[in-house]
Amino acid sequence: MGIVERIKEIEAEMARTQKNKATEYHLGQLKAKIAKLRTQLLEPPKGSSGGGDGFEVTKYGHGRVALIGFPSVGKSTLLTMLTGTHSEAASYEFTTLTCIPGVIHYNDIKIQLLDLPGIIEGASEGKGRGRQVIAVAKSSDLVLMVLDASKSEGHRQILTKELEAVGLRLNKRPPQIYFKKKKTGGISFNTTTPLTRIDEKLCYQILHEYKIHNAEVLFREDATVDDFIDVVEGNRKYIKCVYVYNKIDVVGIDDVDRLARQPNSIVISCNLKLNLDRLLARMWDEMGLVRVYSKPQSQQPDFDEPFVLSADRGGCTVEDFCNHVHRTLVKDMKYALVWGTSARHYPQHCGLFHHLEDEDVVQIVKKKVREEGGRGRFKSHSNAPARIADREKKAPLKQ
Mean of the per-residue pLDDT values of the chain: 83
Confidence category of residue 52, pLDDT binned at 50, 70, 90: very low
Q: What is the pLDDT of residues 318-328, one digit of tens each?
A: 999 999 998 88
Confidence category of residue 365, pLDDT binned at 50, 70, 90: very high
51, pLDDT greater than 50: no
119, pLDDT greater than 80: no
* Rounded-to-integer distance, Cα 123 and Cα 109, Å: 33
Q: Kindly calculate the radius of gyration of the chain based on its CA atoms and give it in whole angstroms.
A: 28
Q: What is the pLDDT of residues 120-162, one digit of tens each?
A: 666 556 565 566 677 777 888 999 999 999 887 788 888 888 8
pLDDT > 90 fraction of the chain, expressed in percent and rounded:
42
Q: What is the pLDDT of residues 233-287, one digit of tens each?
A: 888 889 999 999 998 999 999 999 999 999 999 999 998 989 999 999 999 999 9
Please report the pLDDT score of residue 284 as a whole number: 92
Q: What is the pLDDT of residues 62-72, one digit of tens each?
A: 889 999 888 88
* Rounded-to-integer distance, Cα 93 and Cα 102, Å: 21
The architecture of the domain spanning 63-172+237-286 is 3-Layer(aba) Sandwich (3.40)
Please report the pLDDT score of residue 127 as a whole number: 60
Backbone angles phi, psi at 145, to 5 degrees: -90, 105
Rounded (to 5) percent helix, strand, coil in the chain? 30, 25, 45
Question: In the chain, which segments carry CATH 3.10.20.30?
Answer: 289-366
378, pLDDT greater than 60: no
E-strand stretches of 116-185: 142-148, 168-170, 177-181
50, pLDDT greater than 60: no
Q: Is residue 144 within 8 Å of 67, Cβ to Cβ? A: yes
Please report the pLDDT score of residue 37 as a whole number: 84
Please report the pLDDT score of residue 19 as a whole number: 85
- Check residues 95 and 217 and name the one with the higher pLDDT: 217
Please report the pLDDT score of residue 222 as a whole number: 92
Please report the pLDDT score of residue 371 as a whole number: 54
Q: What is the pLDDT of residues 284-318, one digit of tens each?
A: 999 989 999 999 988 999 888 899 999 888 889 99
pTM of the predicted protein model: 0.79
- Of the options 2.30.30.90, 3.40.605.10, 3.50.50.60, 3.10.20.30, the CATH number for the domain spanning 289-366: 3.10.20.30
Question: In the chain, which segments carry CATH 3.40.50.300?
Answer: 63-172+237-286
Beta bridge partners of residue 244, listed in sequence order = 146, 266
* Rounded-to-integer distance, Cα 97 and Cα 71, Å: 11
98, pLDDT greater than 50: yes
* Rounded-to-integer distance, Cα 160 and Cα 156, Å: 6
Please report the pLDDT score of residue 60 as a whole number: 85
Please report the pLDDT score of residue 385 as a whole number: 59
Confidence category of residue 108, pLDDT binned at 50, 70, 90: confident
49, pLDDT greater than 50: no
* Rounded-to-integer distance, Cα 206 and Cα 190, Å: 16
Kindly state the average pLDDT of the residues 1-5: 77
* Rounded-to-integer distance, Cα 311 and Cα 132, Å: 27
Q: Is the dihedral of CA 308, 312, 313, 317 positive or negative?
A: positive
44, pLDDT greater than 80: no
* Rounded-to-integer distance, Cα 288 and Cα 118, Å: 27
88, pLDDT greater than 80: no
* Rounded-to-integer distance, Cα 127 and Cα 120, Å: 7
- Check residues 367 and 96 and name the one with the higher pLDDT: 367
92, pLDDT greater than 50: no
Please report the pLDDT score of residue 179 as a whole number: 94
335, pLDDT greater than 60: yes
Please report the pLDDT score of residue 246 as a whole number: 92
